Structure 1
Amino acid sequence: MKLVGIVGSIAEESYNRKLMMFIANRFNNLADIEILSLKDVPMFSEDNDQTNSMAVQYLKHRIEGADGVIMVTPEHNHTTTAVLKSTIEWLSYKIHPLKDKPVLILGASYFTQGSSRAQLDLREILEAPGVNALVMPGNEFLLGNVRDAFDEDDNLKDGRTVKFLGDILGQFTKWVSVLKALKGPEAPDAWKNEDLTASGKTDTTIEGVDMDDPKWVEKASEIKHAASGKDYVKLDSGVLTVDQINWLLKSIPAELTYVDDNNQFIYYNHKNPDTKMFAKRRPDQTGNPLSMVHPDVRNVFDHVKQVVHTLRTGKTDMFQLAEPVDRKNIKWVVNNYQAIRDEDGNYRGINEIVLDFWPIVQKYLEMTGQKLVDDPNNKVDTGASASVKEDDQPAKAAPAQPAADTGASASVSDDASASQPAPTQTPTQPATPTADTGASASVEADDAPMPEVDTTASVSVSDK
């Protein structure tokens, strides 16, 4: 279970932060708890809308991606703190990540009442219209005399207090699980909320340069004083210069593209001009939102949103699409959309890997002594759209390909790939067959129904 912890204090020395850190470390068997900071959240003001600021958007995305929220509040003048109240104002002004989100309220104070009045105040705020959080009822944890509650290692001293706290957290995780079960599966159209214009912000968004600026790389690098050339970069398993990193990425026999968790196209391994690429990219496109890099000329935005949402929400970590790039000579590539996650498992974007798989197949056949032969039971249509079961077809037609690549059309000139045999053939010792993902990049909107994206990495299988 994934929970986020919010501490209603930005003080350098905060007992409530100590309490939150103790909970995250001591009870990690119950849930993975990520502690969020309110330090950079601006004071709420309708006259200075900061909804799209990095700090507010960061909280929004973290809360939306969590199963529940733990809020730990001090007590200031019989109420919760100004910083926590202001933060909730931002999270209920134009965005509403706390809506229907399970919340557990805890708190500590210097005196015997243990922030009881602040917790009551916070409960009323969270249950107000516009916030609509689901605050866990009937449970209170009031840590009084907090200055004497922790030992030198910042652990709670009293064993009974630790047990009571553990009981409350156990009840909360069970309550979250029950609410999740009652809520049922995610709404079928939840993917429509994906913002391809990258209007939000993440903690890695570079501000101060327009996303559509053709010199985005140069200007963003200047703003952030980015390393370059012979400058060294410390990685988790090595130390390389920027030049070495570029050489390494360009040597990989595939086209790599990085789209961040704000749906902004921020990198590709520029090894070939766009005319020689399967999924065309140009240096002046780097920095663009997906809506600009992938114009909706074939009404494919819905498919892009479906793929991104499937990866963002963890329904799958890899989405694959086999795509014809030269029908005359039957040349195919595989588009792999790989979810990128950080050390804590948080979604941080997509690595699109476009690979000409024929050289791999050819080498495999040479090494094993096998060959490709016609499959009499083959039903793959190499000249049309991805297959969709008759019962699964939606009423409104839409394009067959979830073209989630961040560049333009995948079609390339004939010399972009070695001649490949038709995918209607199988090895003489065939492997387990995979789902049909043979979507065409050139299918018109009325040719085929829009596929449902599921977790089996197939473009055309219903998610029933």
Structure 2
Amino acid sequence: MKLVGIVGSNAEVSYNRLLMEFVAKHFGDLFELEVLEIKDVPLFNQSDDQTNSKEVQYLNKKIMDADGVIISTPEHNHTIPAGLKSVIEWLSFKIHPLDAKPVMVIGASYYDQGTSRAQLHLRQILDSPGVNAHVFPGNEFLLGKVKEAFDTDNNIKDQRTVDYLESCLRKFMRFVNVVGILDEPQPAKAPEPEDLYATGKIDTTIENVDMNADDWVEQAAEAVNAVEGKTYVKLDRGILTVDQLNYFLASMPMELTYADSNNQFLYYNQTAPAEEMLASRNPSQVGNPLAKCHPEKAYKNVGWVLQQLRSGATDAVRVHVPTHGPDKYVVHNYQAMHDENGNYAGVNEYILDFKPIIDWYLKQTGQELVGGTDGVSGASAKEDKAVDGVSGASEKETETVAVDSVSGASENA
């Protein structure tokens, strides 16, 4: 557990600093505690905004990165020091690192009552809107007669006091864990399963044509009077003939595939026979629902990729497929497509051999690949994982699911 301890005094000599340093040293086996100072933080003045100063941002980052906070406060005139109050003002003005952060209050004082009044005020401040800390209730540690409390090695003399401090700290650790559970984001609602059979209908669905027909393209084109050849098509920023569009897409140095938001395979740029492609496609597949493009055992993984793209969890899923030989570095990219209103419009799968680009870049810049990888194939110097030759999915279960969303898919979850 990682905690930060804020010394609530800007004095050069402070018993509250000694107390915090004792906690860090003596209880280092329970948690990691980094002691933070406030003596260099400027006095709060909203007319002279210092939120972005290095002193304020340093505290902000340290608190944000910590699991919990301990503040050791002196007592000045029955309340906390002005310097500590000023720091909390900065940390609740435009930034709010203490919001929902578990905070424990301790303190040391010259007098019998320790810092009881200051601690009460500090708890109220930490509870206030804009600060919104989760203040550790009860378990007040009030170190009184502090001039007599430490020995020459700056250790607390009285063992009962040390034991009570340890008891409070252990309870605070449990409190930090409980707050962490309470503040965990609720699990997202499970996405609807993907309809890989494309039984639904969207605005662009061509009805009354069998999706499974080998000549779907020809039947669908006839049904909607699709233009072809030298007929011009007005695009968002250009006018091309259908032939020019085909030339343009065929010239792309990658294999392009489009499946719409209804999970129907609608297009690929046919530039080579299926057996020569990085991911084989054949003309009779076009028009099929995605279920027909994959073995049933792969449906779960195909659906997972589509859910990630449809839900907006990510705009792209990328998978390196190292089974094409050492002379290639092939990556399958699944890119979410959206209409002008931002609605999901399907997946653009593009498959690219990056090696020619990498080789060209290295030649142009005079650089070389270094490190623990094979510069040609990208294979790890460690023992290679077994890989599904179609999808590039490791046989071991991984968090990232490798799927060819149209022509093939990983068999593993």
Instruction: Assess if the C-alpha contact under 8 Å between 1:15 and 1:146 holds in 2.
Output: yes
Match of 1:135 in 2: 135
Pairwise CA distance, 1:6: 0.2
Query: 2:173 aligned with 1:173, yes or no?
Result: yes
Match of 1:393 in 2: 309
Distance in 2 of aligned mates of 1:122 and 1:426: 55
Equivalent residue runs for 1:318-337 within 5 Å: none
Instruction: Assess if the C-alpha contact under 8 Å between 2:2 and 2:31 holds in 1.
Output: yes
Instruction: Assess if the C-alpha contact under 8 Å between 1:107 and 1:119 holds in 2.
Output: yes
Pairwise CA distance, 1:394: 3.7
Query: 2:20 aligned with 1:13, yes or no?
Result: no
Q: Partner letter of residue 385 of structure 2?
A: T
| 3-state SS of paired residue (1:71) | strand
| 3-state SS of paired residue (1:56) | helix
> Tell me, which stretches of 5 or more residues in structure 2 are unaligned?
189-251, 255-276, 281-301, 320-354, 393-397, 404-412
| 3-state SS of paired residue (2:88) | helix
Distance 1:13 1:398, change over 3 A: same
Match of 1:32 in 2: 32
Identical aligned residues as a percent: 48
Query: 2:112 aligned with 1:112, yes or no?
Result: yes
Match of 1:354 in 2: none
Pairwise CA distance, 1:393: 3.1
Distance 1:395 1:179, change over 3 A: same
Query: 2:44 aligned with 1:98, yes or no?
Result: no
Match of 1:432 in 2: 385
Instruction: Assess if the C-alpha contact under 8 Å between 2:8 and 2:38 holds in 1.
Output: yes
User: TM-score when scaled to structure 1?
Assistant: 0.47
Match of 2:184 in 1: 184
Distance in 2 of aligned mates of 1:76 and 1:435: 70
Pairwise CA distance, 1:8: 0.7
Distance 1:392 1:86, change over 3 A: same
Equivalent residue runs for 1:63-78 within 5 Å: 63-78=63-78
Query: 2:41 aligned with 1:125, yes or no?
Result: no
Superposed CA offset, 1:295-349 (max 9, x none): xxxxxxxxxxxxxxxxxxxxxxxxxxxxxxxx979xxxxxxxxxxxxxxxxxxxx
Distance 1:426 1:128, change over 3 A: closer
Superposed CA offset, 1:20-39 (max 9, x none): 00001101111100001112
Choose between structure 1 and 2 for higher RCO, CA contacts under 8 A separated by at least 6 residues: 1
Distance in 2 of aligned mates of 1:55 and 1:128: 23
Instruction: Assess if the C-alpha contact under 8 Å between 1:401 and 1:459 holds in 2.
Output: no
Distance in 2 of aligned mates of 1:459 and 1:123: 48
| 3-state SS of paired residue (1:105) | strand
Instruction: Assess if the C-alpha contact under 8 Å between 1:380 and 1:424 holds in 2.
Output: no
Q: Partner letter of residue 71 of structure 1?
A: I
Distance 1:59 1:424, change over 3 A: closer
Distance 1:114 1:415, change over 3 A: closer
Distance in 1 of aligned mates of 2:166 and 2:102: 17
Distance 1:426 1:173, change over 3 A: closer
| 3-state SS of paired residue (1:126) | helix
Match of 1:56 in 2: 56
Distance 1:457 1:152, change over 3 A: farther
Q: Partner letter of residue 315 of structure 2?
A: A
Distance 1:394 1:422, change over 3 A: farther
Equivalent residue runs for 1:80-91 within 5 Å: 80-91=80-91
Distance 1:93 1:413, change over 3 A: same
Distance 1:35 1:381, change over 3 A: farther
Q: Partner letter of residue 116 of structure 1?
A: S
Distance in 2 of aligned mates of 1:435 and 1:129: 55
Greater radius of gyration (CA): 2
Pairwise CA distance, 1:391: 3.7
Distance 1:4 1:421, change over 3 A: closer
Equivalent residue runs for 1:162-311 within 5 Å: 162-185=162-185
Distance in 1 of aligned mates of 2:30 and 2:50: 35
Distance 1:395 1:109, change over 3 A: same
Distance 1:161 1:90, change over 3 A: same
Structural RMSD (CA) = 4.4
Q: Partner letter of residue 171 of structure 1?
A: K
Distance in 1 of aligned mates of 2:61 and 2:388: 33
Distance in 2 of aligned mates of 1:25 and 1:158: 16
Pairwise CA distance, 1:457: 8.7
Distance in 2 of aligned mates of 1:424 and 1:85: 56
Pairwise CA distance, 1:50: 0.4
Distance in 2 of aligned mates of 1:30 and 1:426: 39
Query: 2:16 aligned with 1:43, yes or no?
Result: no
Match of 1:22 in 2: 22
Match of 2:362 in 1: 416
Pairwise CA distance, 1:432: 1.6
Distance 1:64 1:112, change over 3 A: same
Q: Partner letter of residue 28 of structure 1?
A: G
Distance 1:164 1:430, change over 3 A: closer
Distance 1:431 1:101, change over 3 A: same
Distance 1:380 1:61, change over 3 A: farther
User: TM-score when scaled to structure 2?
Assistant: 0.53
Superposed CA offset, 1:76-127 (max 9, x none): 1111011110000000000000000000000010000101100011011000
Q: Partner letter of residue 179 of structure 2?
A: L
Pairwise CA distance, 1:434: 7.4
Distance 1:53 1:112, change over 3 A: same
Count of paired positions: 251
Distance in 1 of aligned mates of 2:388 and 2:83: 51
Instruction: Assess if the C-alpha contact under 8 Å between 1:435 and 1:458 holds in 2.
Output: no
Pairwise CA distance, 1:136: 0.5
Distance in 2 of aligned mates of 1:421 and 1:13: 58
Distance 1:400 1:106, change over 3 A: same
